[in-house]
Amino acid sequence: MSASDSLLKPLYRLYEDSLVRGLNKDLLPHHIGVIHDGHRRYARDHGLPDYEASYRVGMEKFEEFLQWTAEFEIEAVTCWLLSTENLARPDEELLPYYEVLKDLFDRIPNIAGGRDIKVRFIGSLDLLPADLVASAKKLEEACSTGSRRVTIALAYGGRQEIVDAVKDLVTDLLSEEAVAESVVDRIDKDALSARMYASDLPDPDMVLRTSGEARLSGFLLWQAAYAEYSFVDVYWPAFRRVDFLRALRDYTRRTRRYGR
């Protein structure tokens, strides 16, 4: 830690305390979606030897983030750790990341409050290596009864989720031998919502994206229609508690209109 960092650290702590005191706990989001963006740019900007090093920093940050959300009793978080588009990256990027994810999944039950969460994975896990899927399933089993919900999106794409929901609904309707006109009439938003990957979760109140990119990139396209968005300029590995507190503060100051 540099001398300047040593001087700034207590100042940030005072600022964080001030932010916490100013938060209206009754207005905090119940469900937060997170796009953990910026690992590769972080590696380049910080002169790290490879992307794996930044992935490891980012997943350590992920563990911290789970503890921050526990601190404020956030009931549910949905975290996008790998998109279907990411799967097109070369093996020299993907394979180390898979190893980092397996290490993360092994650690989560042992972090503070790890047993108090219920973990579920969504996405096209059939596209992933068998050992990574096995690690994900092991984590689901280890964290299956907690009160706070942690949903991890792996090999996930929002458009594919909607396509899968439509296919499931049409398949169900056709299995009832419904006539074509009846099938069309019974395709509505409630029927599709019930077939999303995590249909028992409430829609996210807030979607947070790091790295300064101001787009959804396909994340929870159906569910986030009326979410409040928070686009944070820092890369995910550099995301701090103070950045999270600012995002919560800004959220509590907004008036949610739900399109009205």
> How many C-beta atoms lie closer than 10 Å to residue 27's C-beta?
14
Catalytic residue numbers?
37, 86
Beta bridge partners of 150: 77, 119
Q: Where are the alpha helices (DSSP H) in the chain?
A: 3-22, 39-45, 51-71, 91-107, 130-142, 158-175, 180-185, 189-193, 241-252
Strands 117-122 and 228-231: unpaired
- Pair 108, 63: CB distance under 8 Å: yes
Distance CA 34, CA 30 (A): 13
